[in-house]
Amino acid sequence: MSEKTTSFYDETHTVFGHHHNKLLQWIFSIDHKRIAILYIIVMLCFFVLAISIGLTMRLELFFPGEQILTPDRYNQAFTLHGTIMIFLFVVPGIPAVFGNFLLPLLIGARDVSFPRLNLLSWWFYLIGCMVALVSLFIGPGFADTGWTFYAPYSVKTETNVIFALTAAYILGLSSILTGINFVVTVHRLRAPGMNFFKMPLFVWGLYSTAWIQILATPVVGITLILVIIEKTLGIGIFDPSKGGDPILYQHLFWIYSHPAVYLMILPAFGVVSEILPTFCRRTIFGYRSIAISSALIAIIGYLVWGHHLFTSGMSEWTKIIFSFLTFFVSIPTGIKFFDWVATMYKASIVFKTPMLWVVGTIITFAIGGLTGITLVTLGVNIHLHDTYFVVAHFHYTIFGGVVFMLFAAMHYWYPKFIGKMYDEAKAKIAFYLIFIGFNTLWFPMFFAGALGMPRRYFDYLPEFTIYHQIAGVGAVITVSGILFMLYTLISGIKKGERCGANPWNASTLEWQIDSPPPLENFKNIPYVDFEPYEYEKGEPKHNLYNKIKGVQNEN
Amino acid sequence: MKTNTPEIIYDKDGNPHEIVDFNDDYTASKLGFWLFLFTELMLFGAMFLVFAFFFYKMPDDFQTASGNLNILLGGLNTFILLLSTYFMGIALIHLREKDIDKCKKSIYITIALAFVFLVIKYIEWSIEINHGIYPDSEILNSKSNGEILFFGLYFTMTGFHGIHIIAGIALMIWVLILINKKIVNNKKYVILENISLYWDLVHLVWVFLFPLFYIIGLGG
Ligand code: HEM
Ligand SMILES: [Cu+2]
């Protein structure tokens, strides 16, 4: 096989047929793989921006009293930090980047069902990002409401809430379109023979996520628009002086945003389920229960939004029901965890960087999940509501769960994206730096919160100083680790060693074609009469490389 | 138009399996559009929920406010939308039967009816605004809470619906262009089919808006 392969980097389809200009070939490309790369470039830029804002806040909090940020600026800082992290980074994150790149590969398709719509989603995403950026620089500056935009404050404040909301709305639109595209792709373009229970688990995660995007995002979209209308026209829906109800906003908001938590975490769970069998060199334990639990989480996740409103005034019975329902979400989540641990049990694990990230995540996410259960317990919630306990909890779940898994995915599929390997030793150092830094940063905050340190405060009582200073040191370690990791990955593009189609010896379809894949992925689409994670004596049972590449047919 | 023979692969037993061409997949286009309509339904559904919530809280005020609306104009608009949906359906039938002229004519009629709808809506809104009733106006703010909310929701929801009508008109003009370019024809009509589905939704939403805003006032 000495023929020179052309990858999707060399040739592409665009909306307007063929372009000679390289840049236009990228921004008008309708190839799902190129679109994925467009997403990750923009996303990482914003991630770095949001990280620096987080670090700035941490520096401000290093000593009590005012250091570098005024109280108003601090409010804008945590709003911007939260908004970017949630709406621009984690929610679209894994589906838009890895979903786009991998979904067709994993199910044996040549692209998604609607390639042009896919590009349009990216354009919407970019426009949303730009609108958010613009509002930093004009008028009284970025919103200062927190990323949740709670009414009535968001209706009253003078800052550019309308811009931020419009941005969030456009991003939501982008996410809905991606969701529709993925659902249809999964239904229509699975390779012949691949029934639902032969799909890789990452596909299950993406599929469940896509349904949440379709069902929940429109609700928050209209809610955000109602705030805009309220601000501009004063229709009164959220204004008690006109008979409106500000709590209504919280309900509408959390009807979306609680499922959104699963929208972030389900694809991340999917990533775990891909990486584990590869590095444990055996079939995943409980394939079906993992698949079905994704769907269950998506469904139950819908019914529990009320636990964000325990202190906002609800009847006691409603509170108890919401609290009770919320406990139920932990059952399918727990099932997944036990399946993963069972997969690892007595396996001969290969500790490459992606696997390290998975193990690290299982630890941090378990801490995040358990403290989450503490939080939805009614009595405790009243005490911990809006303290740093909550801040620590969600950084443990979102950062330590979703973002860590995104990092894992970045390493695991790196050879597929780039065709080369990153520096394994450096990548491991980066992992340890981030993992240690992360725990130093957020673990003390559980104590600070339990002792009464409220969230979203730019100042604090002197007795909390020690916690904030430990966290400050942790933040610096984390950020250096992240920068080192990005450096390692980026320098691998130039300096990395070429790798073959399947450097991890993995069993799913994306590894059965060249790295990086050619345009339209599969020359010959395979007939799928095998399960996704079949290993025999530590080797994948199927080697379809030549068959799918079409080598036999050519000769 | 591609008329490629479908790509086939064979399993171990030699049975043939067709591979779906993602570039030309009628079922996918339909499915995708249904999902999109679903999101629209969620969007309007959320607003109906808000309406229901406040209606339940202040039924009497809502009835009083509703009495101010012109049920004749509203009813006329309901009829016009119904009629336009009929013509939209006819257009599709004509297209499938290769009767391009009649198809285009029906679409023109639909567009015209959509414009009439907007004009009547415009008249209605002007009447209310002339009476000083619009969001945050002095006259409206001096009324009861329920009436303020009723009109707030009325302008928001009919406004949203109006935007959907405008989008529908744009889509119909677009499909006319595609028909002229023969990109939409009696073999490939999924775009017109989807637009007609969309028009059904716009009409369906109105069928709910009409009784909620206009008819509840009759009881008072
Ligand atoms: C080095 C990394 C990070 C640092 C130093 C950091 C720091 C902070 C700080 C100081 C706050 C404000 C807490 C308060 O005053 O209430 C905060 C809030 C927040 N962070 Fe981070 N963070 C980091 C990473 C992340 C990541 C990766 C995510 C999400 C993916 C994230 C999401 C959020 C959110 C949603 C808020 C809440 C904002 C709000 O209250 O409106 N953070 N973070
Ligand atoms: Cu929640």
C-beta of residue A107 within 8 angstroms of C-beta of residue A24: no
- The residue nearest atom 22 of ligand 1, judged by CA position, is A54
**C-alpha–C-alpha distance, residues A516 and A381, integer Å:** 49
- The residue nearest atom 19 of ligand 1, judged by CA position, is A82
Q: Which ligand is nearest to the CA of A308?
A: 2
Q: How confident is the model at residue A288 (pLDDT cuts 50, 70, 90)?
A: very high
The pick from A58, A73, A388, A399 for probing ligand 1's pocket by mutation, whose C-beta has the most ligand atoms within 8 angstroms, reads: A399
Nearest to A449 by CA among A474, A470, A467: A467
C-beta of residue B213 within 8 angstroms of C-beta of residue B158: yes
Query: Mapping DSSP to helix (H, G, I), strand (E, B) and coil, where does residue B59 land?
Result: helix
- The residue nearest atom 14 of ligand 1, judged by CA position, is A456
**How confident is the model at residue B24, as a pLDDT?**
86
The structure tokens 């894949």 sit at A517
A358 C-alpha to ligand 1 centroid (Å): 22
Smallest CA–CA separation between A221 and chain B, in Å? Answer: 8
pLDDT digits (tens, 9 = 90+) for B62-80: 988 888 888 999 999 999 9
DSSP secondary structure code for residue A521 in this structure: S
Q: What is the DSSP string of B95-157?
A: HHTT-HHHHHHHHHHHHHHHHHHHHHHHHHHHHHHHTT-STT-HHHHTS-HHHHHHHHHHHHH
For ligand 1, residues with CB inside 6 Å are A 51, 54-55, 57-58, 78-79, 81-82, 85-86, 89-90, 146-147, 391, 395, 398-399, 403, 455-456, 475, 478-479
Range of lowest pLDDT (A189-203, A399-413, A476-490, B60-74): B60-74
pLDDT digits (tens, 9 = 90+) for A130-173: 999 998 888 888 899 988 888 888 888 888 899 999 999 999 99
With CB atoms and an 8 Å threshold, state whether A180 touches B35: yes
pLDDT digits (tens, 9 = 90+) for A92-125: 989 999 999 999 999 999 999 999 999 999 999 9
Looking at the complex, does the CB of residue A192 fall below 8 Å from at least one CB of chain B?
Answer: yes
Nearest to A509 by CA among A108, A190, A109, A102: A108
With CB atoms and an 8 Å threshold, state whether B12 touches A248: no
Can you tell me which atom of ligand 1 is nearest the CA of A388?
16
For residue A192 the two structure tokens come to 């012949």
Secondary structure element (H or E) that encloses residue A536, with its range: strand A535-536
The structure tokens 């490939």 sit at B188
A408 pLDDT higher than 90: yes
What ipTM was assigned to the predicted interfaces of this complex?
A: 0.92
Q: B158-167 — which CB contacts under 8 Å span 24+ positions?
A: B158/B121, B158/B125, B158/B209, B158/B213, B160/B44, B160/B47, B161/B202, B161/B205, B161/B206, B161/B209, B162/B118, B162/B121, B164/B40, B164/B202, B164/B205, B165/B114, B165/B117, B165/B118, B165/B202, B166/B118
Q: How confident is the model at residue A1 (pLDDT cuts 50, 70, 90)?
A: very low
Q: Tell me the chain A residues in contact with residue B191 when contact means C-beta distances shorter than 8 Å.
A: none
Smallest CA–CA separation between A420 and chain B, in Å? Answer: 30
Query: Mapping DSSP to helix (H, G, I), strand (E, B) and coil, where does residue B18 land?
Result: strand
Q: Which ligand is nearest to the CA of A479?
A: 1
With CB atoms and an 8 Å threshold, state whether A529 touches B46: no
B3 pLDDT higher than 70: no
Q: Which ligand is nearest to the CA of A376?
A: 2
Which residues 73-132 of B are in CB contact (within 8 Å) with A? Answer: none
A231 C-alpha to ligand 1 centroid (Å): 27
pLDDT digits (tens, 9 = 90+) for B92-132: 999 999 999 999 999 999 999 999 999 999 999 999 999 98
C-beta of residue A438 within 8 angstroms of C-beta of residue A364: yes
**C-alpha–C-alpha distance, residues A421 and A287, integer Å:** 29
Interface test with B, best of A211, A237, A305 (most B CBs within 10 A): A237
**How confident is the model at residue A554, as a pLDDT?**
44
Secondary structure element (H or E) that encloses residue A122, with its range: helix A115-137
B2 pLDDT higher than 50: no
Residue A178 phi, psi (nearest 5) = -60, -40
Higher-scoring residue by pLDDT: A524, A464: A464
For residue A352 the two structure tokens come to 């490459």
Q: Tell me the chain B residues in contact with residue A226 when contact means C-beta distances shorter than 8 Å.
A: 50, 156
A553 pLDDT higher than 80: no
The pick from A43, A68, A74, A85 for probing ligand 1's pocket by mutation, whose C-beta has the most ligand atoms within 8 angstroms, reads: A85
A167 C-alpha to ligand 1 centroid (Å): 19
B217 pLDDT higher than 80: no
With CB atoms and an 8 Å threshold, state whether B46 touches A234: no
From the list A117, A188, A524, which residue is nearest B25 (CB)? A188
The per-residue b/e assignment along A250-259, b for 16 or more CB within 10 angstroms, e otherwise, is bbbbbbbbbb
In chain A, the residue whose alpha carbon lies closest to the alpha carbon of B148 is A242
Q: Which amino acid type is present at position B156? A: T
A413 pLDDT higher than 60: yes
Q: How confident is the model at residue B1 (pLDDT cuts 50, 70, 90)?
A: very low
- The residue nearest atom 33 of ligand 1, judged by CA position, is A82
The number of beta carbons lying within 10 Å of the beta carbon of residue B6 is: 10
With CB atoms and an 8 Å threshold, state whether A113 touches B32: yes
Looking at the complex, does the CB of residue B36 fall below 8 Å from at least one CB of chain A?
Answer: yes
Q: Please measure the distance between the N-terminal and C-terminal CA atoms of chain B and give it in whole angstroms.
A: 60
From the list A187, A218, A242, which residue is nearest B42 (CB)? A218
Nearest to A131 by CA among A260, A32, A238, A224: A224
From the list A189, A237, A529, which residue is nearest B22 (CB)? A189
Q: Which amino acid type is present at position A186? A: V
Interface test with A, best of B10, B17, B19, B134 (most A CBs within 10 A): B19
**How confident is the model at residue A330, as a pLDDT?**
81
Interface test with A, best of B21, B23, B42 (most A CBs within 10 A): B42
Summarize the confidence of residues A320-324 as an average pLDDT.
Answer: 81
Looking at the complex, does the CB of residue B217 fall below 8 Å from at least one CB of chain A?
Answer: no
A434 pLDDT higher than 90: yes
A212 C-alpha to ligand 2 centroid (Å): 14
The per-residue b/e assignment along A73-86, b for 16 or more CB within 10 angstroms, e otherwise, is bbbbbbbbbbbbbb
**C-alpha–C-alpha distance, residues B117 and A529, integer Å:** 56
The per-residue b/e assignment along B32-68, b for 16 or more CB within 10 angstroms, e otherwise, is bbebbbbbbbbbbbbbbebbeebbeebeebbbbbbeb
With CB atoms and an 8 Å threshold, state whether B31 touches A187: yes
A2 pLDDT higher than 50: no
What is the interface size between A and B, counted as CB pairs within 8 Å? 127
In chain A, the residue whose alpha carbon lies closest to the alpha carbon of B57 is A243
CA angle A40, A46, A50 (to 5 degrees): 140
Give the number of C-alpha atoms closer than 13 A to the C-alpha of residue A252, restricted to the C-beta side: 31
Task: Tell me what percent of the residues of chain B surpass a pLDDT of 90.
Answer: 70
**C-alpha–C-alpha distance, residues A467 and A446, integer Å:** 10
Looking at the complex, does the CB of residue A219 fall below 8 Å from at least one CB of chain B?
Answer: yes
C-beta of residue B204 within 8 angstroms of C-beta of residue B50: no
Which residues 507-526 of A are in CB contact (within 8 Å) with B? Answer: 524-526
Judging by beta carbons within 10 Å of its beta carbon (0-12, 13-18, 19+), is residue B17 exposed, middle or buried? middle
A318 C-alpha to ligand 2 centroid (Å): 15
Q: Which residues contact B182 (CB under 8 A, 6 or more apart)?
A: none
Task: Name the pTM for this structure.
Answer: 0.93
What Cα–Cα distance (Å) separates residue B40 from each residue in A128, A156, A251, B202? 20, 29, 20, 10
C-beta of residue A243 within 8 angstroms of C-beta of residue B148: yes
Query: Mapping DSSP to helix (H, G, I), strand (E, B) and coil, where does residue A454 land?
Result: strand
Q: Tell me the chain B residues in contact with residue A236 when contact means C-beta distances shorter than 8 Å.
A: 135, 145, 148-149, 152
**C-alpha–C-alpha distance, residues A413 and A271, integer Å:** 10
Higher-scoring residue by pLDDT: A289, A152: A289
Q: Which ligand is nearest to the CA of A322?
A: 2
pLDDT digits (tens, 9 = 90+) for A218-276: 998 999 999 999 999 989 899 888 888 988 898 888 887 888 888 889 999 999 999 99
Looking at the complex, does the CB of residue B15 fall below 8 Å from at least one CB of chain A?
Answer: no
**How confident is the model at residue B219, as a pLDDT?**
65
**How confident is the model at residue A431, as a pLDDT?**
98
**Mean pLDDT of chain A, nearest integer:** 90
pLDDT digits (tens, 9 = 90+) for A188-208: 999 999 999 999 999 999 999
A81 C-alpha to ligand 1 centroid (Å): 6
Residue A59 phi, psi (nearest 5) = -65, -40
**C-alpha–C-alpha distance, residues A104 and A416, integer Å:** 13
Nearest to A451 by CA among A395, A373, A393, A383: A383
Smallest CA–CA separation between B194 and chain A, in Å? Answer: 15
Summarize the confidence of residues B39-62 as an average pLDDT.
Answer: 92
Helices B71-96 and B190-210, interaxial angle, to 10°? 160
Q: What is the DSSP string of A487-512?
A: HHHHHHHHHPPB--S-TT---SGGGG
The DSSP bridge partners found for residue B133 are none
A447 C-alpha to ligand 1 centroid (Å): 17
From the list A236, A248, A529, which residue is nearest B53 (CB)? A248
The structure tokens 């994306």 sit at A510
